[in-house]
């Protein structure tokens, strides 16, 4: 595995997403949404037109709904906010009065600010360049914290859990969806994993299974409300979509990136959503 640096290609996850540009997966012009997660495909088809968009929205809603967002939440933080779609969702659909989206990709930050302005939500949604492992937020200041398919990038994820615990109020909720990369089990996986770490910016400190994932959140001080393996509703559907849409991948992703991460379709990563509470 890569030891001295997480990635030989990218300085950090922000550099990865700056490199990827507008639409790492696909761009849904109808909803002005850049699709950046693997989707929650329950009840959807990998082959039906528009279902990638619907699966992306479904994952966003899953994370927000599990956080029990509402207008009584004074301060909501969206960690790794992508193109700002979830931050807007928090304000517009869940009526949260004060939302901050944080990111370290300046390209995505700029597009997020544009998205917020498009919805006239500048008075309720703020986008900041900030590290998830060094949150410039006061202790006990956040009511709810959400994180959709970003924590596997954080160097390290355990440091983020500690920052989340510090900044959440007592009784505050952390709701997240995340990819989980287990340790390699055979020679082929040992070859594939370092290339995935390089192309996807996955720190070695984050290579562990779901049981250890839950353990690290509990070590940070959280109580687990729910933790569910939803791999069966994510991985096979996205893999089928990727294989059946090669043109989308070539057009919307860089060829060099595709070559370096082709093992993504083979490696046995898992997917989970988790809800935890600061007691």
Q: What is the pLDDT of residues 147-194, one digit of tens each?
A: 999 999 999 999 999 999 999 999 999 999 999 999 999 999 999 999
Model pLDDT, residue 4 = 41
Task: Report pLDDT digits (tens) over 132-151.
Answer: 999 999 999 999 999 999 99
Identify whether 271 is part of a domain: yes
For residue 232, being part of any structural domain is answered with: yes
| Total domains in the fold of the chain | 1
Domain enclosing residue 233, as ranges:
29-180+204-245+266-277
- Identify whether 128 is part of a domain: yes
Identify the residue whose tokens are 């039906």. Answer: 48
Smallest Cα–Cα separation from 118: which of 31, 206, 44? 31
Half-sphere exposure of 78 (CA within 13 A, CB side): 30
In this structure, is residue 75 part of a structural domain? yes
162 exposed, middle or buried (CB, 10 Å; 0-12, 13-18, 19+)?
middle
- Classify residue 7: in a domain, yes or no: no
What would the pLDDT profile of 192-242 be if each residue is shown by its tens digit? Answer: 999 899 888 999 999 999 999 999 999 999 999 999 999 999 999 988 887
Enter the tokens of residue 115.
Answer: 């998205």
Task: Give the CATH number for residue 144.
Answer: 3.40.50.150
In a domain, 185, yes or no: no
257 lies in some domain = no
Does 8 reside within a domain? no
């Amino acid at each position: 595995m890569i030891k001295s640096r997480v990635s030989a290609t990218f300085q950090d996850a922000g550099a990865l997403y700056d490199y990827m540009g507008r639409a790492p997966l696909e761009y849904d012009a109808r909803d002005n949404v850049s699709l950046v997660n693997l989707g929650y495909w329950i009840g959807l088809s990998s082959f039906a037109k528009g279902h990638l968009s619907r699966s992306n929205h479904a994952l966003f809603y899953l994370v927000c709904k599990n956080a029990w967002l509402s207008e009584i939440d004074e301060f909501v933080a969206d960690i790794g906010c992508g193109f700002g779609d979830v931050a807007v969702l928090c304000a517009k659909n869940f009526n949260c009065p004060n939302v901050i989206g944080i990111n370290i990709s300046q390209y995505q930050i700029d597009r997020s600010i544009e998205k917020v302005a498009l919805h006239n939500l500048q008075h309720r949604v703020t986008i900041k360049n900030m590290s998830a492992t060094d949150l410039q937020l006061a202790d006990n200041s956040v009511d709810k914290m959400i994180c959709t398919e970003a924590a596997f990038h954080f160097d390290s994820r355990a440091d983020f859990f500690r920052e989340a615990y510090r900044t959440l109020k007592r009784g505050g909720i952390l709701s997240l969806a995340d990819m989980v990369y287990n340790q390699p089990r055979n020679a082929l996986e040992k070859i594939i994993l370092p290339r995935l770490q390089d192309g996807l910016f996955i720190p070695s400190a984050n290579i562990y299974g779901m049981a250890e994932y839950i353990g690290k959140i509990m070590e940070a001080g959280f109580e687990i409300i729910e933790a569910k393996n939803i791999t069966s509703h994510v991985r096979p559907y996205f893999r089928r979509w990727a294989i059946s849409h090669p043109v989308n991948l070539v057009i919307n992703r860089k060829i060099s990136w595709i070559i370096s991460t082709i093992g993504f379709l083979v490696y046995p990563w898992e997917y989970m959503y988790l809800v935890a509470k600061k007691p």
